[in-house]
Structure 1
Amino acid sequence: MSTKIIRFIFFGNYFVGILAVALTLEASFQLRLPFNSLNYYLLLFLAPTIYYTYAYNKVSTQPSTTNPRTQWYFEHKKLINISQLVLFVLCVILAVNLLYQNLQHFLALPAIYWAAIITVVVAAALYYGLLPKSFLKFNLRNTGWLKAFVIGFVWACCANVLPLIMLKIETGIDYHDSVLWTWLFVKNWMFCTVNAIIFDIKDYPTDANKHLRTFVVRYGLRKTIFSILIPLL
């Protein structure tokens, strides 16, 4: 029973949602800023959970004896589809509520804030090729060496950029210590990038078969660890 619960939390990407909220809370605490609204944190929890589940569910079309996650997705297709629908509806309700409560503040956002929001959304969509292929076939995940940095960038933006934008919308507070903010942003970017590269090491056989030139495929395990991972840390 406990194994099923653990797999549900991790394979269902609920832990990813928890991480997104935790990183955001950490950033707010480090920057000594007020916390965002509960509505925003719930939305932040649901969005990556839905996003990653959709991405994994999309590629898990056949059972795999070597990949427990793929096997889990294949065996629980119906449950996943139902939960995705429920979570998506909740996500829409929260988003509409957030927009309704702060519509004027959204409309009054400076252009640079909108540019940041669009950049994050587009990067996240392109990473897994979530846009229709008839619209755009480019997939950042297939660019090999860029893959880890894109993941790190999106996560750093979720932790350090979006909370400031929402704080501006919800309270009107601006943050002006650009040096500290930049340092924390780069720190989170590199930390999440390192995690992504470590996951690439795990996915080495799959990526190599797909000719996806990640760092570990291109340079090998030892060079990846000593020449890339350690310097980034």
Structure 2
Amino acid sequence: MEKRIVNRIIEYIFFSNFFMGLLSIGLNLETNIKLGLQLNDLDYYLFISSLSVIFYLFAYEIPIKKIKSSNQRTQFYIDHRKSIHTFNIILYIICCLSAISIFIKTYQNLFTLHWIHYLILIATFLLAISYYNWKFGFSLRKYTWFKPTLIAWTWAITTVYLPLLILQLTEGISNNWDARFYFLFSQTFMYFIVNAIMFDMKDYEDDTNRGLKTFVVKYGNQLMLNRVILPLIFLGFLSFILFGFWYDLPLHRILFMLVPIILMAIFAFKLNRPKSILYYLIAIDGMIFLKAIFGILSVILFEYEL
């Protein structure tokens, strides 16, 4: 009985995308801690985490007429329509109230921003909404490069760029757009591209039936693993080593920071083995959580600020 309850809780956390909110908070905390900055206010973390969950809930909205599905995750949304709807309303309230709170704190400084920040925010918003399947038929997620790229860009912006921007507006901190920021941004961007493609490998059969032109559908699992995922992981591995030597980090610290990338490479080789969708959600999203945890611990344990 207890095991069944635990399983239902795990299902709700991952199928409802609640875990995406925790990931968002973890990655934002990693950014602040790695860059040696003070943490953002509570309203910011409430805003960015609720917005992250809403983003995915809207993207996976199930038509009311649909009452049965062979996909375990889709069936979860069908079986829990009322509770998901209530969850959505709560998230919208939290998101709106926290956004208003942030606006009150920052509106006086909004017009002092350089135009490039407005361009980045507008471009990110347009990319994010292009993830959805709108009624007029336009969705970038249907095309090969765009789906992993827009996901990676959106996550990098909301977890690396945005916490610095909000601190700049609320606290006047404006001198941290340095090499460390760009390294962390590019690292997060590449990590999420690999993560998104790994999800596509998991969804190969489903995406084929829906006509989505993902990398995996177009080129096949094995080619994607050998020609795209592993080279990208290797580049991330190499960038960490170069960064460590550039800042004269001890070898044990470099090896510690490499653990999430090594685990991702190991997991990539196991993607061809059939598992439940819940397993993949826990494992693949768990890789991102590990990135945040190891990033934070690399500072706390070794007293080093990136």
- Fold shared by both chains (TM-score > 0.5): yes
User: Structure 1 vs Structure 2: percent identity of aligned residues?
Assistant: 34
> Is 1:56 equivalent to 2:41 in the alignment?
no
Q: Is the 8 A contact 2:140 2:147 kept in 1?
A: yes
Amino acid at match of 1:161: Y
Task: Find the counterpart in structure 2 of residue 26 from structure 1.
Answer: 30
Q: Is the 8 A contact 1:142 1:212 kept in 2?
A: yes
Amino acid at match of 2:50: L
Residues in 2 aligned to 1:45 and 1:105: alpha-carbon distance in whole angstroms: 24
Quote how far apart the aligned CAs of 1:144 are. Answer: 2.3
Q: Is the 8 A contact 1:102 1:170 kept in 2?
A: yes
Match of 2:83 among 79, 87, 93: 79
Amino acid at match of 2:211: H
SS at match of 1:226: helix
Task: Find the counterpart in structure 1 of residue 164 from structure 2.
Answer: 164
Change in 2 beyond 3 A, CA 1:86/1:177: closer
Residues in 1 aligned to 2:57 and 2:210: alpha-carbon distance in whole angstroms: 21
Task: Find the counterpart in structure 1 of residue 215 from structure 2.
Answer: 215
Deviations 1:102-124 (A, max 9, x none): 22022332222221211221111
- 5 Å-filtered alignment, 1:1-233, equals 1-58=5-62, 62-129=66-133, 133=136, 137-233=137-233
Structure 1: 5+ residue stretches without partners: none
TM-score (norm 1): 0.91
TM-score (norm 2): 0.71
Quote how far apart the aligned CAs of 1:63 are. Answer: 4.2
SS at match of 2:113: coil
Q: Is the 8 A contact 2:152 2:192 kept in 1?
A: yes
Q: Is the 8 A contact 2:62 2:77 kept in 1?
A: no
Q: Is the 8 A contact 2:46 2:94 kept in 1?
A: no
Q: Is the 8 A contact 2:143 2:213 kept in 1?
A: yes
Residues in 1 aligned to 2:29 and 2:180: alpha-carbon distance in whole angstroms: 16
Q: Is the 8 A contact 2:59 2:131 kept in 1?
A: no
Residues in 2 aligned to 1:180 and 1:114: alpha-carbon distance in whole angstroms: 22
Residues in 1 aligned to 2:104 and 2:133: alpha-carbon distance in whole angstroms: 30
Structure number with bigger Rg: 2
Structure 2: 5+ residue stretches without partners: 234-306
Residues in 2 aligned to 1:60 and 1:185: alpha-carbon distance in whole angstroms: 39
